[in-house]
Amino acid sequence: MVILGDSLIELKKIKSNSVDLIFSDPPYFLSNNGISCQNGKMVSVNKGKWDKSNGFKQNVKFHRTWIKECKRILRPSGSIAISGTYHSIYQCGYILQELGFKILNDITWFKPNGAPCLACKNFTASHETIIWACKSESTKHTFNYEKLKKWDVSKDQINHYGKQMRSVWSIPLTPQSEKIHGKHPTQKPLELLKRIIAAASNEGDTILDPFMGSGTTGVAAKILKRNFIGIEMEKTYVDLANKRINTLN
C-alpha cells in the first residue's frame, strides 16, 4: 500500500503494534545552497523544500515526532532501521535512546563509488550510517542470522572473507538500471534494502517506510514476499514508486 501524504499526519492513522520492520530514510536537511559532484559535474545539493533545515531545534522536534509514532506502530518484536549522514543520524540515535529503544547495531554503508569532495577542506564523505534498534531492552527482535551468513557478498570485499555478516557493507551507489522508470535525489540501492529486510523480517511480515521516495523499500519488500506500507508527500514519487512496484507483477 502506497500512501500520498505527510508522514507526520499519516503515521498517526496506522494501527498500534501492527508493523514488523520500519526502514526510514528521513530528510538529512542538507539543502543549504551548497554544491556537490554528480557524474563528474558540479551540481547543487538542493533537493527540495522537504530537505531544507528549519534550525537545529526544529529538526530535532521533527525527528522526535515521527520516531515516537514509529515506536507506537511497531510490534513488540519489531525493529527500526534509520539511515543518515552525520548531519542527522546522531540526532536520530539520541532520540531512539531517549524514547526507550535498544540500539542493536550501527551499520556503515560504504560507497566505493561515492562522489568526491569538491571543497577539498575535509575528508571525502564515502559512507552513511544505518542505526538498527528494537522497541525496548525487554523485547525480542527478529534477526535471520543464518540467512545473512549465506548472503551473496561476493562483490563486498569487507564481508567476503568472514562467515558472519559484518556491520560494514560495501554497496555501490544506485545503478542506472534501477532508475529506468525515473529517479529520486536520495534513492537507495536495492541491494541495501534487500539486505536489511532479509535480516530483520520474515515472509508475510509488514514493512513500513515513512519517507518512501521512489519506493525502493517497496520493491525489496515485494521481491522478498513481505507486505509494504509506504508514505510519500510528493505525487511524482508516489507515481514512480507505484510504477516500480507494479512492474514486478
Q: What is the pLDDT of residues 24-62, one digit of tens each?
A: 999 977 755 454 445 555 444 545 565 667 888 999 999
Would you tell me how many other CB atoms lie within 10 Å of the CB of residue 71? 18
Q: What is the pLDDT of residues 163-173, one digit of tens each?
A: 789 999 999 99
Q: What is the pLDDT of residues 123-149, one digit of tens each?
A: 888 999 999 999 999 989 999 999 998
**What does pLDDT average to over the chain?**
89
Predicted pLDDT at 161: 62
Classify residue 100 by its DSSP letter: T
- For 194-207, the three-class secondary structure string (H helix, E strand, C coil) is HHHHHHHCCCCCEE
Phi-psi region of 67 (alpha: psi -120 to 50; beta: other; left: phi over 0): alpha
Instruction: Identify the helix (H) or strand (E) that includes residue 134.
Output: strand 127-134
Q: What pTM, to 2 d.p., does this model score?
A: 0.89
Pairwise pLDDT comparison (74 vs 54), residue with the higher score: 74
Which of 213, 217, 208, 165 minimizes the C-alpha distance to 190?
217
